[in-house]
Structure 1
Amino acid sequence: MTATYVIDGREVTGLDRFWQVIGEAVNGPGGYFGTNLDAFADCLSGGYGTPPDGDFVIEWRHHEASRRALGHDETVRRLDERLQKAHPSNRPAVQADRDRAAAGEGPTVFDWLVDIIEAQAPGRLRLE
């Protein structure tokens, strides 16, 4: 039987809140399902609360609310953080991404999350 994990997009007010919402959807109150993009990708690969056979669906209700909360403003914030930690050789690329986000262009945090889900759990995301 397919496990369904429901995210209420109205509860997602930023990336930190997304980590809480997805953690609780999969593993209950206080549950963990990643706290950064790499950890999230790992969790989607199995062993962190999803069924061992990978038979699950993430149902992201009211995803448009999340799309707004995880839009270009949140993307700029996250890229600013990344710039602080980036290796000097990577800073120009991160800065270029940050500048595009500040101009309201390019992929957003919401897009990053959707792309990770589609890459790690193809066909298991339902945007409602």
Structure 2
Amino acid sequence: MELNTSNNNRKMIVIHGGHFSSLAGFYEEASHVLMKDADWKVGTLDGFDDILYGGFGVIEGREEIDIIWKESEKSKEDLGLQPTQKFYENKIRQGKPFNIELIQLKLDELHKGKGQTLFDILVEIIESHTNITLRLE
């Protein structure tokens, strides 16, 4: 990822799908750019969502942000069906504090071809922030 300020004073964050091939790699990338001078690192989906609210790291608040995800097709594959299944299976194996029933439902939906992949979840998290515009490239 890289951070730029565009001409219209919107911060622009670039996610390079070529820099990672796993969810852990995505977290590392997000931490590197979004949490530059902070001690805190992104390590969960909720944590990624939290930093997008701003107030710490490079996002100061509800400012307008552009996120450009380059090589998004590679990321879509890297964070697709199989990695998502493993992600859910690991949570089920770990048990508490995870809601095993909910995770099993998500895994079942995935097997039926209806569930969200990790890529879909990350896109949804970004798009849930109305001050952030996401562009997949």
TM-score, normalised via structure 2 length? 0.77
CA 1:33–1:87: 2 relative to 1, 3 Å: closer
Evaluate the alpha carbon distance shift between residue 29 and residue 95 of structure 1 in structure 2; reply closer, same or farther with a 3 A threshold.
Answer: same
Matching of residue 15 in structure 1 with residue 49 in structure 2: no
Q: Distance in 2 between matches of 1:57 and 1:43?
A: 15
Q: Who is 2:42 aligned against?
A: 34
Question: Counterparts in 2 of 1:36-55, with a 5 A limit?
Answer: 36-47=44-55, 48-55=57-64
May I ask how many residue pairs the two structures share in their alignment?
127
Q: Which residue of 1 aligns with 2:70?
A: 61
Alignment of 1:1-128 (within 5 A): 1-28=9-36, 34-47=42-55, 48-83=57-92, 84-86=94-96, 90-102=99-111, 104-128=113-137
Is the contact between residue 20 and residue 32 of structure 1 (CA under 8 Å) also seen in structure 2? no
What is the identity, as a one-letter code, of the residue corresponding to 1:25?
Answer: V
Report which of the two has the higher share of helix: 1
- Whole-angstrom distance in 2 between the partners of 1:31 and 1:18: 18
CA distance in 1, matches of 2:59, 2:30: 12
CA drift of 1:115 comes to 0.6
Once residues 118 and 131 of structure 2 are traced to their aligned partners in structure 1, the CA distance between those partners, rounded to angstroms, is 19
Residue 12 to residue 103, structure 1, CA distance change in 2 (3 Å): farther
5+ residue gaps in structure 2? 1-8
Aligned-CA RMSD value: 2.6
Q: Is the 8 A contact 1:33 1:40 kept in 2?
A: no
Name the amino acid aligned to 1:85: G
Shift in Å at residue 29 of structure 1? 9.3
Question: Unaligned stretches of 5+ in structure 1?
Answer: none
